[in-house]
């Protein structure tokens, strides 16, 4: 059982999209919400227009979101950490940080400041290309407009140091005291409907549902939830080692087939199932295609034949037509941690079946139907109920199907500003019971880490997850629990405290299925997971404090020695991952342009559904590359010309040139929604007759470069190099 993780993006919103309406400043990095999240834009524009909130957009490309910004900052791709830590340094240097918040609720502040002090405005300018004066000006805006929200998307995460980018953004909000308050927080807009729910429920190869991990205790917990024997579960694996070993990620699974990078797996992967997943969303797609052609079995479960089906040259593909969300029902979780119930509108049409039917039939054929559906009598209600029962870590346990349905049926009773129901059958509850929703009567938690409300009413402190004390590299010891006087109203302890355990002997709040531990904590006005400080220093990460490291394929070879990447990692999710050995400064001579990818409003994901819609295809029928006017003129390229884009990994695509000033003279932008072509050749004949998309084009990810995050192995699609020539 190899396991494949979805590592496209990570994190959960501390606040909600609606809460952005209360922001006095909006700082967006690596996000183009105007196209990727157009519904959320109503809240962003509300804050801008009603609150007169500055809208700061940081992006290498002048996007449609940037067109709405009060302040647009063009940044060199792959340098986000340097810019954000530069803002932190400027804020602290000028004494603009929230000293009271930091003294009472933040750990590792002096050590973080020591590292951040390197990123002076002048150093930041050299690394990022952002003028030092702009670094100072943006820092002042953030400091003088509070509370402010920070928003990011895949433009921040899909880098070899994506985890450092997100940590730096969280540190920025801690320094400003913008955590645990309305209008503040760190807010990650997820890429698709129910991405948050799918992540919570374990499309991850290194975790069981609700982020329990894959150690013995986690397996035993979920075996109790599922009511299956732990020894039987253990027997399903090749060995005990592999039961506790991280699997391949979605970004690298194909290496388990082609093995261009050494794998740590007892056997190569021989079959793969794509369930509602577009393979053309994966970087170095031409290498993934090699895997498709070598596999014994490729199963595609999707409402439409995808690029995956057309890309396979071997007769090894099975298409299982699944239904759309309108033809099924069940629970989903939004970016705002809101759990919602979707009711079925129509029965599945043609030969399609809903996902529950397909799963049921597959499990029967695998021979463990009696174990898998042991406590599932009513689908999908009992599926949601079982997942909620076990997901104590994130507090799904109070979000029962009956409550979720009631919210969906009475959505008009919830206030648009606070998301709280004002009267009606859901009176006092927050829409979608945003997790953690600790008990069957808990209203949900609209804002994480808000100590102004009782825990029973939706308040929370920071989680005590890393012990009660730590000694830093400089020898300084620090109490990791919150300071005296920091607590939620009604708390028995008027300060910090560790997590609850042994209320039921041998259990803690995460493993007590009776929920007595959680209920006892809330009875005392306290959080089950304790009351601690947020840490600026992650001592279990390669970089304890976020620092800039040059992209593996850097356009600035002069900076590589000063800001080198990590040593190679031998066994990262079962694959050898190159860092230092892949950082080749000479590449820029042959591949002088920076390649980035992103979304467009007319299409979604891999585009199988939207490019099969004739109206959307009519709006955006062609795959294209944005190229700067000056660069196009220098290369003899005119708007509408066909051009070749090539990567250092021998990927190449033929696309239409869109000549524009949206990108600078060194940057090429590609939308990543297209498929149906491969390195200059049409695959249209490979689709089943009558299912060909109305719009086909080269997948951008054929030319995205090698590179993966050191923690999550998320693919680095926002910082590669390429060559451009006229076709």
CATH of residue 169: 3.40.228.10
**Cα separation of the two ends of the chain:** 45
What's the domain count of the chain? 2
Give the mean model confidence (pLDDT) for residues 267-280.
95
Radius of gyration for the chain, computed over Cα atoms and rounded to the nearest angstrom: 25
For residue 6, pLDDT beyond 80? no
Of 671, 665, 706, 695, whose CA–CA distance to 568 is shortest? 706
C-alpha distances (whole Å) from 191 to each of 159, 197, 336, 375, 434 are 16, 12, 12, 32, 19
For residue 4, pLDDT beyond 60? no
Picking from 162, 188, 214, the residue at the C-terminal end of a domain is 188
682 within some domain: yes
pLDDT tens-digit series, residues 289-302: 999 999 999 999 99
Tokens of 405: 């349905």
Contacts (Cβ under 8 Å, ≥6 apart) of 365: none
318 within some domain: no
Cα separation of 159 and 714, whole Å?
A: 7
For residue 1, pLDDT beyond 50? no
Q: For residue 228, count other CB atoms closer than 10 A to its CB.
A: 18
pLDDT at position 203, please? Answer: 83
Picking from 188, 216, 242, the residue at the C-terminal end of a domain is 188
Picking from 149, 172, 188, the residue at the C-terminal end of a domain is 188
Give the mean model confidence (pLDDT) for residues 321-348.
95
Q: Which residue has the tokens 């170095």?
A: 284
pLDDT tens-digit series, residues 671-690: 999 999 999 999 999 999 99
Least confident of 4-18, 216-230, 504-518, 560-574: 4-18
C-alpha distances (whole Å) from 253 to each of 241, 273, 534, 651 are 19, 11, 34, 18
Give the mean model confidence (pLDDT) for residues 579-592.
96
Which of residues 10 and 554 earns the better pLDDT score? 554
Q: For residue 343, count other CB atoms closer than 10 A to its CB.
A: 11
User: Could you tell me which residues are beta bridge partners of residue 427?
Assistant: none
Give the mean model confidence (pLDDT) for residues 460-482.
97
For residue 145, pLDDT beyond 50? yes
The whole-angstrom distance between residue 305's C-alpha and the CA centroid of its chain comes to 26
Burial of 664: CB neighbours in 10 Å, binned 0-12, 13-18, 19+: middle
Give the mean model confidence (pLDDT) for residues 10-36.
93
pLDDT tens-digit series, residues 222-261: 999 999 999 999 999 999 999 999 999 999 999 999 999 9
134 within some domain: yes
Confidence of residue 2 (pLDDT cuts 50, 70, 90): very low
Range of 37's domain? 18-188
Q: For residue 653, count other CB atoms closer than 10 A to its CB.
A: 27
Least confident of 161-175, 188-202, 399-413: 188-202
Query: Quick check: 550 and 556 in contact, CB under 8 A?
Result: yes
pLDDT at position 193, please? Answer: 82
C-alpha distances (whole Å) from 87 to each of 56, 184, 338 are 13, 17, 32
Least confident of 158-162, 187-191, 328-332, 648-652: 187-191
Give the mean model confidence (pLDDT) for residues 85-103.
98
624 within some domain: yes
pLDDT at position 190, please? Answer: 86
Q: Per 3-state DSSP, what percentage of the chain is helix, strand, and coil (rounded to 5)?
A: 30, 15, 50
C-alpha distances (whole Å) from 30 to each of 157, 176, 462, 558, 640 are 8, 20, 26, 25, 27
Query: Quick check: 717 and 153 in contact, CB under 8 A?
Result: no
For residue 191, pLDDT beyond 90? no
Contacts (Cβ under 8 Å, ≥6 apart) of 622: 656, 695, 697
Mean pLDDT, rounded, of the chain? 95
681 within some domain: yes
Confidence of residue 11 (pLDDT cuts 50, 70, 90): low
**Measured torsion, CA atoms of residues 367, 370, 371, 373, in degrees rounded to the nearest 10:** 110
Give the mean model confidence (pLDDT) for residues 257-268.
96
Cα separation of 196 and 337, whole Å?
A: 7
78 within some domain: yes
Q: Which residue has the tokens 């994966």?
A: 282
Cα separation of 338 and 711, whole Å?
A: 27
pLDDT tens-digit series, residues 516-562: 999 999 999 999 999 999 999 999 999 999 999 999 999 999 999 99
The whole-angstrom distance between residue 282's C-alpha and the CA centroid of its chain comes to 15
pLDDT at position 5, please? Answer: 31
pLDDT tens-digit series, residues 498-520: 999 999 999 999 999 999 999 99
Running DSSP on this structure, what letter comes out for residue 253? T
Confidence of residue 192 (pLDDT cuts 50, 70, 90): confident
Running DSSP on this structure, what letter comes out for residue 58? E
Whole-number percent of the chain with pLDDT over 70: 98
551 within some domain: no
How do 593-598 and 720-726 pair as beta strands? antiparallel
548 within some domain: no
- b/e map 232-270, b = 16+ CB within 10 Å: ebeeeeeeeebbebbbbbbbbbbbbbbbeeebebeeebe
């Amino acid at each position: 059982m190899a396991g494949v993780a979805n590592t496209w993006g990570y994190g959960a919103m501390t606040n909600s999209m609606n809460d952005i309406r209360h922001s006095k400043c909006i700082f967006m990095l690596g996000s183009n919400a105007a196209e990727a999240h157009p519904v959320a834009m109503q809240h962003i524009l509300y804050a801008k227009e009603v609150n007169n909130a500055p809208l700061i957009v940081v992006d290498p490309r002048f996007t449609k979101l940037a067109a709405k910004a009060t302040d647009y900052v063009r940044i060199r791709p792959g340098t986000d950490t340097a810019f954000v830590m530069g803002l932190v340094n400027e804020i602290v240097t000028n004494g603009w940080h929230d000293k009271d918040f930091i003294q009472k609720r933040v750990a590792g502040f002096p050590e973080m400041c020591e590292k951040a002090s390197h990123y002076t405005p002048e150093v930041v300018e050299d690394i990022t290309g952002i003028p030092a004066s702009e670094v100072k000006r943006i820092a002042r805006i953030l400091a003088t407009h509070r509370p402010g929200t920070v928003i990011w998307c895949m433009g921040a995460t899909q880098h070899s140091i994506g985890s450092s980018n997100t940590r730096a953004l969280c540190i920025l909000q801690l320094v400003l005291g913008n955590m645990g308050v309305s209008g503040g927080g760190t807010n990650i807009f997820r890429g698709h409907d129910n991405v948050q729910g799918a992540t919570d429920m374990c499309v991850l190869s290194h975790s069981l549902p609700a982020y329990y991990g894959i150690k013995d205790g986690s397996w035993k917990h979920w075996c109790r939830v599922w009511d299956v024997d732990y020894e039987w579960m253990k027997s399903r694996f090749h060995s005990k080692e592999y039961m506790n070993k991280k699997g391949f990620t979605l970004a690298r699974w194909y290496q388990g087939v082609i093995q261009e990078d050494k794998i740590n797996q007892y056997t190569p992967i021989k079959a793969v199932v794509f369930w509602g997943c577009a393979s053309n969303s994966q970087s170095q797609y031409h290498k993934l295609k090699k895997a498709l052609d070598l596999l014994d079995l490729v199963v595609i479960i999707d409402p439409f034949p995808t690029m995956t089906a057309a890309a396979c040259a071997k007769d090894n593909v099975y298409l299982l037509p699944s239904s759309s969300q309108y033809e099924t029902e069940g629970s989903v979780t939004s970016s705002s941690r809101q759990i919602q119930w979707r009711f079925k509108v129509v029965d599945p049409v043609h030969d399609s079946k809903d996902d529950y039917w397909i799963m049921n039939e597959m499990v029967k054929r695998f021979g463990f139907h009696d174990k898998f559906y042991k406590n599932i009598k009513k689908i999908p209600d009992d599926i949601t109920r079982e997942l909620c029962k076990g997901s104590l870590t994130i507090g799904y346990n109070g979000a029962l199907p009956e409550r979720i349905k009631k919210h969906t049926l009475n959505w008009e009773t919830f206030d648009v500003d606070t998301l709280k129901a004002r009267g009606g059958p859901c009176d006092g509850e927050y829409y979608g019971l945003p997790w953690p929703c600790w008990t069957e009567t808990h209203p949900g938690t609209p804002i994480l880490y808000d100590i102004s409300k009782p825990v029973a009413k939706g308040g929370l402190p920071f989680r005590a997850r890393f012990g009660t004390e730590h000694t830093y590299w400089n020898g300084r010891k620090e109490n990791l629990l919150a300071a005296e006087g920091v607590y939620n109203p009604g708390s028995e302890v008027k300060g910090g405290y560790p997590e609850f355990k042994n209320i039921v002997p041998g259990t803690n709040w995460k493993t007590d299925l009776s929920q007595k531990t959680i209920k006892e904590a809330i009875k005392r006005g306290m959080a089950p997971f304790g009351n601690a400080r947020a840490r600026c220093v992650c001592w279990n990460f390669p970089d304890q404090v976020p620092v800039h490291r040059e992209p593996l394929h850097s356009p600035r070879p002069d900076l590589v020695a000063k800001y080198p990447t990590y040593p190679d990692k031998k066994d990262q999710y079962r694959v050898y991952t190159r860092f230092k050995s892949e950082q080749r400064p000479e590449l820029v001579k042959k591949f002088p342009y920076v390649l980035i990818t992103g979304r467009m409003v007319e299409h979604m994901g891999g585009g199988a559904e939207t490019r099969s819609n004739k109206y959307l295809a009519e709006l955006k029928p062609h795959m294209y590359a944005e190229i700067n006017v000056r660069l196009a003129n220098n290369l003899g390229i005119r708007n509408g010309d066909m051009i070749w884009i090539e990567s250092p990994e021998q990927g190449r695509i033929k696309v239409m040139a869109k000549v524009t000033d949206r990108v600078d003279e060194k940057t090429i932008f590609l939308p990543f929604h297209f498929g149906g072509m491969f390195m200059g050749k049409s695959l249209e004949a490979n689709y089943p007759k009558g299912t060909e998309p109305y719009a086909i084009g080269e997948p951008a990810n054929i030319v995205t470069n090698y590179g993966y995050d050191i923690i999550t192995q998320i693919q680095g699609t926002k910082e590669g190099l390429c060559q451009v020539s006229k076709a």
